[in-house]
Amino acid sequence: MEKAVCARAPAKVNLHLRVFGRRKDGFHSLRSIFQAISLADELTVRSLKQPERIEIDGVFDCPPEKTTIYQGIVAFREATGIQTGVSVKVGKTIPAGAGLGGGSSDAAALLLSLDSLFATRLSLRDLAGLGARVGSDVPFFLYGGAAIVEGRGELIRPLAARRDYALVLVFPGFPMGTAEAFRLLDRERPDDGGEADLPASVLESAYPLPPGDWPFANSFEAPVAGIHPEIALWLERLRAAGALFARMSGSGSTLFGVFGGAAEAEQAVGVLRKNAEPDILVCTAFPLAHGISLL
Ligand code: C5P
C-alpha cells in the first residue's frame, strides 16, 4: 500500500556565528546560536511500489540528484537497507543560497519522514549522524528551537527557546554559496582575524537579554559585505526601520532584523518594501520553540 507523511521544514537564522580556522578535514570549526523560525518548506514523502525508484519534485537551484533530499534518501537506505521506492514533493518557500538553512532543513525533515514512514525508529543521535553526512547544519534541524552549535555543526546544546520577539528577513535578491563564502573568509582573514571569541557560557547567558544588548556578531558579515555593498545597505535600512538588532544570517545573503513584536515588524516590512525590487524578499518571521513538525 502507498503511504505518505507530510512535514514542515523550518528555516533558521544565526543570531551569532563565529567561524574559527579551517581544519585538516577542510571544514571550519564554529560557535553559533541557531534559531529555528516560522518561514518553512513543506515536504510530502510517499513510498512507491517500484523498489529503488526516487522521484523528487520541486523547484531547486541544482539537478534533483544533487539535492540534500536525494542525498538524505541515499544515506537512509545505506543505514537501514530499506530500498522501497520513494517520492518527495517539496513546496519551496525558503530561498536557496540565503543562509537560512533551507537545504539542510529539508534533509532533516526528509530523514524524520522516512523514519516515520518505514517505522525504523532510529534514535535522534543516529538520525543526526546520517544528517551530518548530508550537510553540516542538518543535525541542528533535527533538534530545532534554539541551540548553541559547535564543532562543524554536530555539537548541539539546546537552549530554552524564547519567542518574545519578531524578525524581519530581507533576502537581497542574490544567493551566496556556502563553500564560496568560506573561501572568501579564508582569503580575507587568513590568520583567524583576531575577532572577539565569546565562549558558549557567554552566549548562553546573553541569549535571554533584550536583543538591543546582544553582543552577537557574524564572522562572514564583513567579507561578504566587502563584495556585496547591498549587505551593509540593508543592515542600515533594518536599523533605521527600528530593528533592535540586525545581522546577516549564516554565510549570507539574508539579513535579519529583530523587533519587539509582530506589529513593529509588520510596520518595518511596510517601510522596507518601498525600497525593494521584485526579486527581493522582505517578510516577517517568528522564532520557533520546536523543530520539524510531521503533519
Ligand atoms: O556541510 P555543508 O554542505 O553545509 O558545507 C558546504 C561547504 O561549506 C563545505 O564543503 C565546506 O567547504 C564549507 N564548510 C566549512 N565548515 C563548516 C561547514 C561548511 O568549511 N563547518
Distance of CA 68 from the midpoint of ligand 1 (Å): 13
The helix/strand count (H/E) of the chain reads as: 9, 11
What pLDDT is stored for residue 278 in this prediction?
Answer: 84
From ligand 1's centre to the CA of 278, what distance in Å? 30
Query: 137 catalytic, yes or no?
Result: yes
Strands 85-91 and 54-57: parallel
| Single-letter residue type at 254 | T
250 Rama class: left (phi>0) / alpha (psi -120 to 50) / beta = left
> CATH number of 4-159: 2.70.70.10, 3.30.230.10, 1.10.12.10, 3.40.190.180?
3.30.230.10
CATH 3.30.70.890-classified regions of the chain: 166-285
Residue 280, SS3 per DSSP: coil
| pLDDT for the residue numbered 196 | 81
* 67 contacts 134 by C-beta, under 8 angstroms: no
Out of 23, 28, 68, 249, give the residue to mutate to test ligand 1, the one with the largest number of ligand atoms within 8 Å of its CB: 28
Could you say which of 41, 106, 115, 137 is catalytic?
A: 137
Nearest to 36 by CA among 204, 295, 208, 287: 287
List the residue whose alpha carbon is closest to atom 7 of ligand 1.
Answer: 179
Residue 2 has a pLDDT of 65
Look at the pTM and tell me if it is higher than 0.85.
Answer: yes
DSSP alpha helix (H) spans, the chain: 68-80, 102-117, 124-134, 138-143, 178-188, 200-206, 221-227, 230-240, 262-273
Ligand 1 centroid to residue 135 C-alpha, Å: 7
**Residue 5 and residue 47: Cα distance in Å, rounded?**
9
Residue 175 φ/ψ, nearest 5 degrees: -85, 160
Confirm if 34 and 216 have CB atoms less than 8 A apart: no
For residue 159, the CA-to-ligand 1 centroid distance in Å is 24
CA–CA distance, 169 with 97 (Å, rounded to integer): 14
- CA distances 271 to 69, 179, 255, 278, Å, are 37, 33, 15, 15
81 Cβ contact list (under 8 Å, min separation 6) = none
User: Which is the catalytic residue, given 12, 41, 106, 115?
Assistant: 12
12 is catalytic: yes
Topology annotation, domain 166-285:
Alpha-Beta Plaits (3.30.70)
As given in the structure block, the three cell numbers for residue 21 are 580556522
* Tens place of pLDDT per residue across the chain (295 aa): 568 999 999 999 999 999 998 999 999 999 999 999 999 999 999 999 999 999 999 999 899 999 999 999 999 999 999 999 999 999 999 999 999 999 999 999 999 999 999 999 999 999 999 999 999 999 999 999 999 999 999 999 999 999 999 999 999 999 999 999 999 999 998 777 678 889 999 999 999 999 999 999 999 999 999 999 999 999 999 999 999 999 999 999 999 999 999 999 999 999 999 988 888 999 999 999 999 999 8
Q: Find, among 11, 39, 16, the residue nearest to 265 by Cα.
A: 39
Contacts of 263 (CB under 8 A, 6+ apart): none
Cβ < 6 Å from ligand 1: which residues?
Answer: 27-28, 30, 135-137, 152-153, 178-179, 182
Q: Where, residue-wise, is CATH 3.30.230.10 in the chain?
A: 4-159
CB 42 within 8 Å of CB 4: no
Computed over every residue of the chain, the mean pLDDT equals 96
Mutating to test ligand 1, I would choose from 70, 136, 176, 251 the residue with most ligand atoms within 8 A of its C-beta, which is 136
